[in-house]
Structure 1
């Protein structure tokens, strides 16, 4: 039976593994890092340091096994300088030469983000699509927050899922160097 709950600090490593598996074939992740050797380390840096707001990670389990996860940043979330430096250094180690593309990606995200305060969906994924884990994760968190929410979809097949939850495409971003397209989406 599918269960969604707020993740504990102890769940964060499992979330890294789930997200790495969920994004194994993601166009943007493969553009950043063509080989999946260090995907778990990249998601661990994001999960433990850069998108680590307390109470803002969710995990979906089926019979106790993690099957999906989501990382949210609350409005005006920021990390401490120390946490940011640790996260960025671990991200650099994981991404290697892909780090340069990661900087380009973050610049594109920064230019595209709407003004104002909103919840930011930093990552959501389920290694096995079609299980309902993504929908359950979105449903639970969106029911508990006030105000707008924002995300960048790195895969066109996920856009209809987000639209079912009230998100609308506000911009397409084409990444340089024959990179993939992303869709920025806002839910008022």
Structure 2
């Protein structure tokens, strides 16, 4: 039975593992880090330091096992200088030379992100596909927030899922260096 709820601080490490599994074959993750092996470290840096707003992580369980997670940044969210420094240093340790592409990716995201106060879906993933985990995670959070929400989809197959929840594609981004395409999406 699927259960979705707000994650505790102690569950953020489990979220890192779920997201690493969910994104193992993701075009953007493999563009950033062609060899798998340090994905959990990368997602741990994102989960614990860079997208770590209190009460903004959701986790899905199936029969007590974590199977999905979502990280949201609330409107106006920013990390402290110290938290950002720790997060970036851990990203560097995980990504190595891929961090350069990570900077390119973040610049593209920053240029594309709409102005104004909005919820940002930083990460969402399920360790097993096609079981409604992503839908359950989106439904839970979107039912509880006011205002617009924004995301970048790194996989064209996921765009219809987001569209079912009211997101619309606003831009297509082609990354350089034979990088993959991303779709920015906004829910008003």
Map of 1:69 onto structure 2: 69
Q: Which runs of 5+ in 1 are unaligned?
A: none
Work out the number of aligned pairs and report it. Answer: 188
Map of 1:50 onto structure 2: 50
Cα RMSD, aligned residues only: 0.3
Map of 1:10 onto structure 2: 10
For 1:91 and 1:163, the matched residues in 2 are separated by: 31
Map of 1:34 onto structure 2: 34
Moved over 2 A (4+): none
Q: Which runs of 5+ in 2 are unaligned?
A: none
1:123-162 equivalent positions in 2, closer than 5 A = 123-162=123-162
Cα distance, 1:87 vs. partner?
0.2
TM normalised by structure 1 equals 1.00
Cα distance, 1:127 vs. partner?
1.4
3-state SS of 1:11 partner: helix
Cα distance, 1:167 vs. partner?
0.1
Map of 1:122 onto structure 2: 122
Map of 2:19 onto structure 1: 19
Cα distance, 1:103 vs. partner?
0.3
Map of 1:185 onto structure 2: 185
Map of 1:86 onto structure 2: 86
For 1:41 and 1:8, the matched residues in 2 are separated by: 19
**1:77-101 residue CA offsets vs partner (Å, 9 max, x unmatched):** 0011000000000001100010000
For 1:84 and 1:11, the matched residues in 2 are separated by: 20
For 2:178 and 2:111, the matched residues in 1 are separated by: 19
Cα distance, 1:18 vs. partner?
0.1
For 1:146 and 1:83, the matched residues in 2 are separated by: 27
For 2:38 and 2:60, the matched residues in 1 are separated by: 23
3-state SS of 1:36 partner: coil
Cα distance, 1:140 vs. partner?
0.4
TM normalised by structure 2 equals 1.00
**1:10-53 residue CA offsets vs partner (Å, 9 max, x unmatched):** 00000000000000000000000001110000000000000000
For 1:176 and 1:8, the matched residues in 2 are separated by: 37
For 1:92 and 1:111, the matched residues in 2 are separated by: 22
